[in-house]
Structure 1
Amino acid sequence: MIKTCVTAKVIKQHPLAGDVFQLTVAVPAIAAVSRPGQFVHLRLTETFDPLLRRPFSIADCDAGQGTLTLIYRVVGRGTRLMAGLQSGDSLDCMGPLGNGFALNSQRPLLIGGGMGLAPLLMLARAFCSRPATILMGGRNEQELFWPGIYAGICQNIHITTDDGSVGQRGFTVDLLPGLLKQGEFDGIYACGPHAMLKGVAATAAQYRIACQVSLEEYMACGVGACLSCTCAAAGGKRHKVCTDGPVFRAEEVVW
């Protein structure tokens, strides 16, 4: 796997909603070889505080411009530092890391919950010649700023919120069976909370539709050395999410 560790230059950053930000960096060497579903590992300062790098899914990529776009939520010290970056700032970027999605579907259905919608954006663009349908879920209307981002990329957008403030009240897995009955989907691509992925995987198996899932795990090293991101796998084995994944066939993961 081709990966590199280089200095990335901040092109622009702006808030999307509440504590969610969109960051665009110039990093041509990584943008040239990035694939949907992969991630980068960032060192946010020149010191060892914070000590560890932070992993971020690649939300979008423009190989021609040499840029990557990351969409992230501020949840701790690392992301608070990241939210303070301004145009012209630099940070150490390692990537692209991990295995991405296999683009082997002709009628794809994308399913994202919360910040799990970030890595599906680049995937949706990759399906531009066979526009994808997307099912997206969040806690409330404030979290569902995503339709505007996906507009013009996905053929159909279906929305659920926990409180019913926008779209259908409930969870993505509640709406999924109805969509599978109506559509002729031959592949499901999902990213989001563990409980959502478990439900999506079970429904996909019931309808005998191939399903790929992107797991969200904390990764200390990002290169398979520390074993902090392992998950249970079929056959009693364990997967390293950072190097064996983060994308897996649903049947490879023990839920």
Structure 2
Amino acid sequence: MNHPQLTHNFLMHDVTATVKVNKLVAYKTYLMSLDVAKGFSDAKPGQFVMLRVGDSTDPLLRRPFSIAGIDEDGSLLVLYRVVGKGTALMSQWKPGTSTGVLGPLGRGFDLASKQELSIMVAGGIGIAPLLFLSHQLKSSKTILLMGAGKREELIPVEGLAKTGLEIAIATEDGSRGHRGLVTELLDKALNDVEVGQTMVYACGPEAMLSKVSSMCSGKGVRCQVSVETAMACGVGACQGCAVRSKKKQPAYYHVCKDGPVFDAEEIVWDIP
């Protein structure tokens, strides 16, 4: 049953969804398509959902996942990597499996500003919200910088990202593309940009986001980051997913409620 509630000026739904597709697409990484009936067609890039991963008390809490896209038929796309018991259970789901979905939740990317160049920086599974974002960017040129530990961890973007993107890849072991970190690709890309006509969008590990934020700040380039963190409720009730704010008030933001997308200049990064 659908129970819509108004939050962040959009409708949040608690629905029972049915798995349509759940396939392995990279190392320990799955793409899932969920039939959510109605209610998610107005989801924004950067928003997320909370999935119920079991019928028992173990695991008890729902798990947060970025929305990787909305198919033409309204199906919800979720990209996830197996990292624990909850995602291991999800990897065993077959077409027809039912699960609870709460969402769309949180604050997505701000698409109000117009720029000539958009640079998306993805670290590992952080590519998920950027796939969705790629379809709504209106820039003259869009670059996707993808980073992973090794080539087996790279997520194929064909059919998921908008066509026509300029794509560059970095792997830490050098097995594909540039040998090193994805931030090294960004450093090169930022050397030849028109500052006032460029926006960087990033999602990935905190260390990567901290580095991206610092690089963009140093160049005077605007940057939005989608923060990855553990969440218990997804709606700000438990106060668990806090990140430090540069403002005196509030001293902390809650990622699920105030984010997960922030202007990079709003966040105090605990990793240098």
Q: Pick the aligned partner of 1:70 from 69, 74, 78.
A: 78
1:205 matches 2:231: no
Higher helix share: 1
Q: Pick the aligned partner of 2:42 from 21, 25, 33.
A: 33
Q: Which amino acid aligns with 1:122?
A: F
Q: Pick the aligned partner of 1:80 from 88, 103, 121.
A: 88
State the TM-score, normalizing by the size of structure 2. Answer: 0.88
Following TM superposition, by how much is the alpha carbon of 1:243 offset from its aligned partner in structure 2, in angstroms?
Answer: 0.5
Instruction: Provide the rounded CA distance (Å) in 1 between the counterparts of 2:138 and 2:35.
Output: 24
Counterpart in 2 of 1:238? 252
1:20 matches 2:20: no
Q: List gaps (5 residues or longer) in structure 1.
A: none
Q: Which amino acid aligns with 1:76?
A: G
C-alpha spacing 1:192/1:105, structure 2 compared with 1 (3 Å)? farther
* Alpha-carbon displacement from aligned partner over 1:165-211 (angstroms, at most 9, x marks no partner): 11111112222222112344510000001111111101111111110
Counterpart in 1 of 2:198? 186
Q: CA RMSD in A?
A: 1.7
1:102 matches 2:135: no
Q: Which amino acid aligns with 2:82?
A: V
1:195 matches 2:204: no
Query: Which deviates further from its counterpart, 157-166 or 99-108?
Result: 99-108
* Alpha-carbon displacement from aligned partner over 1:129-151 (angstroms, at most 9, x marks no partner): 74521111111111123354566
Structure 1 residues 1-255: aligned runs within 5 Å: 1=7, 2-62=11-71, 64-103=72-111, 104-106=113-115, 107-127=117-137, 130-148=140-158, 153-184=163-194, 186-236=198-248, 237-255=251-269
C-alpha spacing 1:61/1:152, structure 2 compared with 1 (3 Å)? closer
Question: Do 2:131 and 2:157's aligned partners in 1 also have CA atoms closer than 8 Å?
Answer: no
Q: Which runs of 4+ in 1 moved over 6 A?
A: none
Instruction: Provide the rounded CA distance (Å) in 2 between the counterparts of 1:187 and 1:214.
Output: 14
Instruction: Provide the rounded CA distance (Å) in 2 between the counterparts of 1:14 and 1:67.
Output: 15
Identity of aligned residues (%): 43
* Alpha-carbon displacement from aligned partner over 1:195-240 (angstroms, at most 9, x marks no partner): 1111110111111111000000000010101111101111240000
Following TM superposition, by how much is the alpha carbon of 1:86 offset from its aligned partner in structure 2, in angstroms?
Answer: 1.0
Question: Do 1:111 and 1:134's aligned partners in 2 also have CA atoms closer than 8 Å?
Answer: yes
Q: How many residues align?
A: 254
Instruction: Provide the rounded CA distance (Å) in 2 between the counterparts of 1:19 and 1:214.
Output: 22
Q: Which amino acid aligns with 2:268?
A: V
